[in-house]
Amino acid sequence: MKKFLVLVLAALMVAGLAVTVQAGEGDPIKVGVCIYKFDDNFMTLYRQELQTYLESKGAVVTVVDGKGDQAEQTNQINSFIAEGVDVLIVNLVQSSAADAIIPLVQAANIPTVLINREPFVDDPSQWDKVWDKVCYVGADARQSGTFQGQIIADLPDKGDVNGNGVVDYVMIIGDPENVDAQYRTEFSIKALTDAGITVNELFAQRGDWDQAKGQELAATALAQFGDQVDVIFCNNDGMALGALQSIKAAGRTVGKDIYLVGVDALPEVVQLVEADEFTGTVLNDHVGQSHKAADVALEVAGGTTPERIYTVDYVKVTK
């Protein structure tokens, strides 16, 4: 009797297994999403839009927080692999980790869409060497830097608010490992010099995309250089929101005796541009980027070979 039961159970298990496997075709696509950290103004908007959009397409989505720790994120990727997701969308903690992550997902045969932190920018030929089911969806950070510089160069006084003939600036940098930080720092200033403007860097330090650090660094720079500061460039709006608090605390007024530009066009910053409290920002299109990443992920999960890189345009935002 006991033996019979065991046999029946075994048969049921096999049948159950067969049913699951057969149902595979019609099953919703399982997407694992790894975000470098949840506590980031821009990536919060991005991940919420990404999840909503993927779910609207019928996908089953799990989003995890890498907490700014690459080792933690690599574990999360391994867990998704063990779970058997159909496709991964990964916002690397460190762009350089692409070298280790790509072989991992390839060995598990899980197509992967990298987002927001572009790998191999220094050497695009690296793309030819990696698995063709991996791609990148993002934006060209050079464009955002150029737009920041142009916003300042297009002002009536070309950014020289104290009229000493030179644009003296403070640069608050994101995470310097990230190409968005490198290019925004470089190309914002290049746009000024390309417009024939003389520049002078007073202060440049990393704020890791973080509002509190932006506030701290701007306070330090303003205490040190006072009225000499014409412009505060911030690699993102989060840090610029922090800088604005310090500008006000120092008794300065954006648009009157100092200029301030960020990148992202966070909704609260767009309102501040409207209210003349920010000189400008640059739209980092989280809607366009997340939708593109989701569409590409669902296509590669269905067997399509993606292009290597998809980019979404930035847009200048001034009053």
Q: Where along the sequence are the contacts to ligand BGC (CB under 6 A)? A: 36, 40, 42-43, 116-117, 178, 180, 209, 236, 238, 263-264, 284
Query: Which is closer to ligand BGC, CB of 45 or CB of 191?
Result: 45
Could you tell me the smallest distance in angstroms from the CB atom of residue 236 to ligand BGC? 3
Could you tell me the smallest distance in angstroms from the CB atom of residue 119 to ligand BGC? 12
What distances in angstroms separate CA 173 from CA 83, 163, 197, 240, one per listed residue?
A: 38, 26, 21, 10
DSSP, collapsed to helix, strand or coil, labels residue 27 as coil
What does the DSSP assignment read for 233-249?
EESSHHHHHHHHHHHHH
Query: Which is closer to ligand BGC, CB of 243 or CB of 301?
Result: 243
**CA 201/CA 168 separation, integer angstroms:** 6
Tokens 């989003």 belong to residue: 63
Query: Which is closer to ligand BGC, CB of 112 or CB of 116?
Result: 116
Could you tell me the smallest distance in angstroms from the CB atom of residue 180 to ligand BGC? 4
Give the closest residue to 301 by CA, choosing from 54, 84, 62, 110: 110
Could you tell me the smallest distance in angstroms from the CB atom of residue 186 to ligand BGC? 15
Give the closest residue to 244 by CA, choosing from 318, 172, 168, 192: 172
Could you tell me the smallest distance in angstroms from the CB atom of residue 130 to ligand BGC? 21
**CA 97/CA 70 separation, integer angstroms:** 8
Contact, 259 vs 233, CB < 8 A? no
